[in-house]
Amino acid sequence: MAEQNSKPAKAWGGVFTEATDALFERFSESISFDSRMYEQDIEGSIAHAHMLSDVGILTKEEFEAIRDELLNIKGTIARGEMVFSSALEDIHMHVEKALTDKLGDVGRKLHTARSRNDQVSTDFRLWIRDAIDKLDALLQGVQRAFVARCDADFDVVVPAYTHTQRAQPVLAPHIWLAFVEKFERDRERLADCRKRVNTLSLGAAACAGTSLPIDREKTAQYLGFERIAANSVDVSSDRDFATEFAYDMAQIAIHLSAWAEDWIWQSTVEFDFLQLPQAYCTGSSIMPQKVNPDVLELIRGKSARVVGNLQSLLVLTKGIPLAYDRDLQEDKEPIFDSFDTISISLALAAPIVAGMKLKRESIAARLDKGYLDATSFMEYLIRRGVPQRTAHGVVGRLVRKGIETGRALAEFPLEELRDACDLVDESVYDYLGAVNAVNAMKSYGSTAPDQVRFQIDSWKKKLAL
């Protein structure tokens, strides 16, 4: 980045008699990160110029010259041939300077009825809109990976935990679909955020609009924006569309982190429920036996920065006076960082989900531990007319006996069960044991096999699998 004082390159000038301090110039640049929005900046400028020609501020020839040169500049940047300099501060100034260098006075007309305040907001909205679409596809990829393995895992019964204690037995696909549901809500949140992001800022100019006869409908149409921001002061001060996106990404990070946490402990020797694909694990330099789940630890660990980025945006926009303030330049790096982190995490999650091996035998061998069928037994008694609180007590006492004598509930002889409650008969054994307990389930959204089958099929349809 060039560091020389560079008065002539500035977008202002008239009122200034002093050149910009070199250290301040380096401090104030945003080109090192906002160059990432060059395509959006050029798209926005072409739409703006197009609209200016529609209303007669530019001639058709001037618009075409501007458009063609902007497309050339886009190629130059794409090829990595543009030299970025902190003297030109940001992507907007770089593109405009390149344009004026080529077109002279025609290029100098592009910024008519526009300020960098509505320009930067527009670029950022376009960038986030695109980022939302990319994240949606990545989230869908993870959902597909989970749904795609549901058929193969359909007969696997696993313990569901509450308080990390064995709670009730469920089908493995019921767990997979729990993650699919979470990622679906993440997608819904993004889609909802997209509605507010998809709003035209251009035309607000610096903060008050413009006295020139612009046509914002046209600009919106060219950029595919569904709404036009109705208040120019709001436009130049508003970043809640970005904060909202930061939250949506933080929630995705939290979902990924919780999933990673589950699979980390389930891959330990102590649990031995699953094996992660080795392509995503690392070994140890000193302990030859180690296969470490670093990828999941990093997905869990990196959620911290994504949550931090949300915090940054909230604090950044707290209490800044209307309308635009330069503080707002700090809005982009947290968003870019969250997006990069989440994108890679999601891109890694899909093949890990697809490649994970369930340790079926190891899971099955311990399924009669922990009285996963106690609730099933209790509901059996309830169906026979025993009040819930009473049934709970009966089963609780039997579980205590089982723990003392080292037996599962299904191992109790009928006489002993009848001693506890004389409403019990032979049919009770159809409800004891983890598999029977799963099969006894009925309610909508439960782990009942026909419910899970129904959910798998509807997800397959939804995801076109």
DSSP lists the bridge partners of residue 349 as: none
Establish if 239 lies at the interface with ligand ARG (CB under 6 A).
no
Which CB atom, from 120 or from 378, has the smaller least distance to ligand ARG? 120
Q: How far apart are CA 66 and CA 49, in angstroms?
A: 7
**Among candidate residues 196, 234, 241, 201, the one with its CA nearest the CA of residue 220:** 201
Say if residue 147 is exposed, middle or buried (CB neighbours under 10 Å; 0-12, 13-18, 19+).
buried
Tell the smallest beta-carbon distance from residue 464 to ligand ARG (Å).
40
For residues 421 and 378, is the Cβ–Cβ distance under 8 A?
Answer: no
Query: Which amino acid is it at 67?
Result: R
For 323, the token pair is 């309308």
**Among candidate residues 213, 210, 216, 206, the one with its CA nearest the CA of residue 47:** 216
Q: How far apart are CA 353 and CA 388, in angstroms?
A: 39
Residues 6+ apart with CB under 8 A from 118: 201, 202, 203, 204, 205, 206, 232, 235, 236
Q: How far apart are CA 12 and CA 339, in angstroms?
A: 33
Altogether, the residues listed in the chain come to a count of: 465
Which CB atom, from 18 or from 415, has the smaller least distance to ligand ARG? 18
Tell the smallest beta-carbon distance from residue 89 to ligand ARG (Å).
6
Tell the smallest beta-carbon distance from residue 30 to ligand ARG (Å).
4
Q: Which of 198, 312, 329, 376 binds ligand ARG (CB under 6 A)?
A: 329
Which CB atom, from 117 or from 198, has the smaller least distance to ligand ARG? 117
Which CB atom, from 123 or from 373, has the smaller least distance to ligand ARG? 123
Which CB atom, from 91 or from 177, has the smaller least distance to ligand ARG? 91
Q: Which of 25, 43, 62, 89 binds ligand ARG (CB under 6 A)?
A: 89
Which CB atom, from 124 or from 263, has the smaller least distance to ligand ARG? 124
Q: How far apart are CA 413 and CA 419, in angstroms?
A: 10
What does residue 76 show for φ and ψ, rounded to 5 degrees? Answer: -60, -45
Question: Site map for ligand ARG, 13-42, x if CB under 6 A?
Answer: -----------------x---x--------
Tell the smallest beta-carbon distance from residue 28 to ligand ARG (Å).
8
**Among candidate residues 25, 33, 88, 31, the one with its CA nearest the CA of residue 332:** 33
- 163 catalytic, yes or no? yes
Q: How far apart are CA 131 and CA 139, in angstroms?
A: 12
Q: Write down the catalytic residue from 32, 284, 362, 458.
A: 284
For residues 429 and 416, is the Cβ–Cβ distance under 8 A?
Answer: no
Tell the smallest beta-carbon distance from residue 304 to ligand ARG (Å).
26
Choices 153-161, 325-333, 341-349, 438-446; region in contact with ligand ARG by CB under 6 A: 325-333
Which CB atom, from 25 or from 90, has the smaller least distance to ligand ARG? 90
Alpha helices in 58-115 (DSSP H): 60-78, 91-103
159 three-class SS: strand
Q: Which of 318, 326, 389, 461 binds ligand ARG (CB under 6 A)?
A: 326
Question: Site map for ligand ARG, 411-430, x if CB under 6 A?
Answer: --------------------
For residues 274 and 358, is the Cβ–Cβ distance under 8 A?
Answer: yes
Establish if 324 lies at the interface with ligand ARG (CB under 6 A).
yes
Tell the smallest beta-carbon distance from residue 189 to ligand ARG (Å).
26
Could you tell me how many residues of this chain bind ligand ARG (CB under 6 A)? 11
Q: How far apart are CA 132 and CA 125, in angstroms?
A: 10
Give, as ranges, the residues between 210 and 229 that touch ligand ARG (CB under 6 A).
none
Q: Which of 328, 417, 428, 441 binds ligand ARG (CB under 6 A)?
A: 328
Establish if 90 lies at the interface with ligand ARG (CB under 6 A).
yes
- 50 catalytic, yes or no? no
Q: Write down the catalytic residue from 163, 285, 427, 443.
A: 163
CA distances from 88 to 97, 164, 283 (A): 8, 56, 47
Which CB atom, from 119 or from 436, has the smaller least distance to ligand ARG? 119
Tell the smallest beta-carbon distance from residue 337 to ligand ARG (Å).
16
Question: Site map for ligand ARG, 98-137, x if CB under 6 A?
Answer: ------------------xx--x-----------------
What does residue 155 show for φ and ψ, rounded to 5 degrees? Answer: -90, 5
Tell the smallest beta-carbon distance from residue 117 to ligand ARG (Å).
5
Indicate which residues carry an active-site annotation: 163, 284
Please give the residue ranges that form the binding site for ligand ARG (CB under 6 A): 30, 34, 89-90, 116-117, 120, 324, 326, 328-329
